[in-house]
Chains A and B, each alone.
Chain A
Amino acid sequence: MAKELSIKDLEKKASELRIAALKAISKAGSGHTGSSMSLMDALVTLYYAGGAEEEDYVILSKGHGAPAQYAILADKGFFDKSELDHLRQAGALLQGHPVVKIPGIAVSTGSLGQGFSVAHGIALSLKLDKENQKVFVVLGDGELQEGIVWETAMSAAHYMSNNLIAIVDNNGLQIDGSCKKVMNVQPIRDKFVAFGWRVIEVVDGHDFEELIDAVRRARAEERKPVCIWCHTVKGKGVPFAENKVEYHGVALSEEEMKVAEAELKCN
């Protein structure tokens, strides 16, 4: 485990990273504000609270949440922070969705469901090599509508890939509206359990104590792949954007950015 940060430190770090991600999206004038905010705390748990060890894989299958991971990778020194100013611009390192040419990105994602399948391939390969690393993969709840997700879920249970840990960022919203209305993916727990997974529910996906405990338990699982089912808030940390589907794939304006930054700095 990496050096322990207090819960307060983690919250502060998450706020800073939220500001960095939002600024990058705002400057680009394009990007997924809501999604980057809902999964930030899960990523902070993996990267800063010892959730993931250095050699572990952290894969964003919901690749549109990339700005959150980019902000973290910049903060960790994988590339210069100034790269965030060029997100989504022609010739820039930081593409709209993750790609392996970016330091710290192991899998190119963006086409939903695929990152999960690739993550499991990595998990199988690690087992073949008798390596102990874990593979963390973050999925959206809307993403669970993709058929490949369930092909992957089936195969991970079949091969008893306990080194695969899926984090479902259950913010309840997708581009066209609420997941329930567009295409109901619930009951998520029952589905994963039926496919042979262990499910750990995180009632508040923005509570670090709960997140850390869930990841610790997931790492200890000896037979099954694990789904950490996190209930999250889309746009978390930006009050005027919280739970608003309108902010799924929209950048904050300069004015909005100022308000958001002030709010986040108060936290």
Chain B
Amino acid sequence: MANYHIKLEGELEKQATRKSFGEALVKLGAKREGIVVLDADLSCSVQTAKFAAEFPERHFNMGIAEQNMLGAAAGFATRGKIPFACTFSVFATGRPWEIIRNSICYPNLNVKILGSHAGVLTGEDGASHQALEDIAIMRALPNMKVVQPADHVEALSVMEKIVDDYGPTYLRVLRQGTPLLYSDERPCNFEFGKADVLFDSGKGSGSKPGKVDLCVFATGALVGSSLEAALKLTEEDGKKVLVYNMSSLKPIDEDAILEGAGRAKVCVAAEDHNTIGGLGSAVADVLAGEGVGVRLVKIGVKDAFGESGKPADLYKKYGFDAEGVYKSLRSTG
């Protein structure tokens, strides 16, 4: 199993990255007095309620008024604070987009935007509450960084880095639990602009990495699904597969993309997001820019809105669970 990097035996423990965010916020809030939290009436859902209880003077509920929440966050950052503006991804990025553009990114202010409940994984609330365009619209903004941790451990690592880093950042977290991938045995040390190889069945025994049938670039909940799919493809179909965790969506790890693509017959980008403008587009930009002629298959929501349903049912329907990703990968390469 040494080449797989991550243990994938049995039923994996799960935790929602929104909860990890909430935990990290309280821990970091105790160390950093500059951290202030702004909410838009969803402090229980986005897990900021604990911070609010712990540090009431540094918590500002702005009510159901996301535009003003982002504007006020810009004001706090103007004074040198580290404001976290937190709500569901759709309302954190879409509704106040132009305020983020003109009042946060243009002056390059240190505002952290927390978007929870991203993707169809949000489930029952349906399309109105399932952000599928957020990565695209945040990625397009100068100065903005975009991050989506794959699991609980990575979310904690991301938060440590985010508060030490300067500049506007969009942190995308999920409502539902995702499998714990990192552990003490395989620790996570998140870095902006760095991808992480989590599975490589084509590593070979020599010093030079071998060719693979498929190179998968995955983000968020699709990392876990891709890893399980890669394991099955390797063990049952005899395929060689490489899987990258692309938690840093902007800046993106161009070297990793070129290295992975250089080893692969086919590349795949997997995300719970529209196939327009997200991770797949970011990977395509890198490949095309360097003239790498490898095929890129995008797994994602294909220019459509989501719908209501149990998260697991939706993941099955959209082919985002391990079985769905396995089928996509098998038919691809």
Interface residues of A (CB under 8 A from B): 99-100, 106-111, 114-126, 128-129, 147-148, 151-152, 154-155, 158-159
Contact of B67 among A99, A110, A115, A148 (CB under 8 A): A148
Is there contact, CB below 8 Å, between A155 and B107?
A: no
Known: A99-B106, A121-B76. A148 touches B99 (CB 8 A): yes
Q: Which residues of B contact A152 (CB under 8 A)?
A: 68, 71-72
Q: How far is the CB of A163 from chain B (nearest CB, A)?
A: 12
Q: How far is the CB of A100 from chain B (nearest CB, A)?
A: 4
Known: A114-B99, A128-B58. A120 touches B79 (CB 8 A): no
Q: Which residues of B contact A125 (CB under 8 A)?
A: 36, 75-76, 78-79, 81
Known: A111-B98, A118-B74. A154 touches B103 (CB 8 A): no
Q: Once the chains are docked, how many angstroms separate the CA of A124 from the CA of B81?
A: 11
Q: Which residue of A lies closest to B58 (CB)?
A: A128
Q: How far is the CB of B81 from chain A (nearest CB, A)?
A: 6
Known: A128-B57, A155-B65. A148 touches B107 (CB 8 A): no
Known: A108-B107, A114-B102. A151 touches B68 (CB 8 A): yes
Contact of A155 among B68, B73, B106 (CB under 8 A): B68
Is there contact, CB below 8 Å, between A117 and B67?
A: yes
Q: Which residues of B contact A100 (CB under 8 A)?
A: 107
Q: How far is the CB of B79 from chain A (nearest CB, A)?
A: 4
A107-B75, A117-B71 known; 11 new pairs, CB 8 Å cut-off, are: A99-B107, A107-B107, A108-B102, A111-B98, A111-B103, A114-B103, A118-B75, A120-B72, A120-B75, A124-B76, A151-B63
Q: Which residue of A lies closest to B70 (CB)?
A: A117
Indicate if B60 sits at the interface (CB-CB under 8 A): yes
Q: Once the chains are docked, how many angstroms separate the CA of A108 from the CA of B104?
A: 9
Q: Once the chains are docked, how many angstroms separate the CA of A119 from the CA of B79?
A: 11
Known: A108-B107, A117-B67, A121-B73. A155 touches B62 (CB 8 A): yes
Q: How far is the CB of A138 from chain B (nearest CB, A)?
A: 16
Is there contact, CB below 8 Å, between B75 and A119?
A: yes
Q: Once the chains are docked, how many angstroms separate the CA of A121 from the CA of B79?
A: 9
Q: How far is the CB of B26 from chain A (nearest CB, A)?
A: 18
Q: Which residue of B lies closest to A101 (CB)?
A: B107
Q: Which residues of B contact A147 (CB under 8 A)?
A: 67
Q: Which residues of A contact B67 (CB under 8 A)?
A: 117, 147-148, 151
Is there contact, CB below 8 Å, between B107 and A123?
A: no
Q: How far is the CB of A190 from chain B (nearest CB, A)?
A: 21
Is there contact, CB below 8 Å, between A151 and B102?
A: no
Q: Which residue of B lies closest to A129 (CB)?
A: B79
Known: A124-B60, A151-B65, A155-B63. A107 touches B78 (CB 8 A): yes
Is there contact, CB below 8 Å, between A118 and B72?
A: yes
Q: Which residue of A lies closest to B73 (CB)?
A: A121
Is there contact, CB below 8 Å, between A117 and B78?
A: no
Q: How far is the CB of B51 from chain A (nearest CB, A)?
A: 15
Contact of A110 among B63, B65, B76, B102 (CB under 8 A): B102
Q: Which residue of A lies closest to B101 (CB)?
A: A111
Known: A125-B75, A155-B62. A117 touches B103 (CB 8 A): yes
Q: Once the chains are docked, how many angstroms separate the CA of A147 from the CA of B81?
A: 26
Q: Which residues of B contact A121 (CB under 8 A)?
A: 71-78, 83
Sample 18 A-B pairs with CB under 8 A, ordered by A number: A111-B99, A111-B103, A117-B67, A117-B71, A117-B99, A118-B78, A120-B72, A120-B75, A121-B77, A121-B78, A121-B83, A122-B76, A123-B75, A125-B79, A126-B79, A128-B58, A151-B65, A154-B65
Q: Which residues of A contact B62 (CB under 8 A)?
A: 151, 155
Known: A117-B71, A148-B67, A154-B63. A106 touches B78 (CB 8 A): yes
Q: Once the chains are docked, how many angstroms separate the CA of A106 from the CA of B76?
A: 12
- Residue picked from B62, B75, B81, B103, most chain A C-beta under 10 Å: B75
Q: Which residues of A contact B36 (CB under 8 A)?
A: 125, 128
Q: Which residues of A contact B58 (CB under 8 A)?
A: 128
Q: Which residue of B lies closest to A126 (CB)?
A: B79
Q: Which residues of A contact B74 (CB under 8 A)?
A: 107, 114, 117-118, 121
Q: Which residues of B contact A129 (CB under 8 A)?
A: 79
Q: Which residue of B lies closest to A135 (CB)?
A: B75
Known: A122-B78, A151-B68. A111 touches B63 (CB 8 A): no
Q: Which residues of A contact B98 (CB under 8 A)?
A: 111
Q: Which residue of B lies closest to A146 (CB)?
A: B67
Q: How far is the CB of A97 from chain B (nearest CB, A)?
A: 9
Q: How far is the CB of A46 from chain B (nearest CB, A)?
A: 18
Q: Once the chains are docked, how many angstroms separate the CA of A162 from the CA of B312?
A: 50
Q: Which residues of B contact A116 (CB under 8 A)?
A: 71
Contact of A117 among B72, B77, B106, B107 (CB under 8 A): B72
Q: Which residues of A contact B99 (CB under 8 A)?
A: 111, 114, 117, 148
Q: Which residues of A contact B68 (CB under 8 A)?
A: 117, 120, 148, 151-152, 154-155
Q: Which residue of A lies closest to B105 (CB)?
A: A108
Q: Once the chains are docked, how many angstroms separate the CA of A123 from the CA of B68?
A: 13
Q: Which residues of B contact A117 (CB under 8 A)?
A: 67-68, 70-72, 74-75, 99, 103
Q: How far is the CB of B43 from chain A (nearest CB, A)?
A: 16
Q: Which residue of B lies closest to A106 (CB)?
A: B78
Q: Which residues of A contact B83 (CB under 8 A)?
A: 121
Q: How far is the CB of B74 from chain A (nearest CB, A)?
A: 5
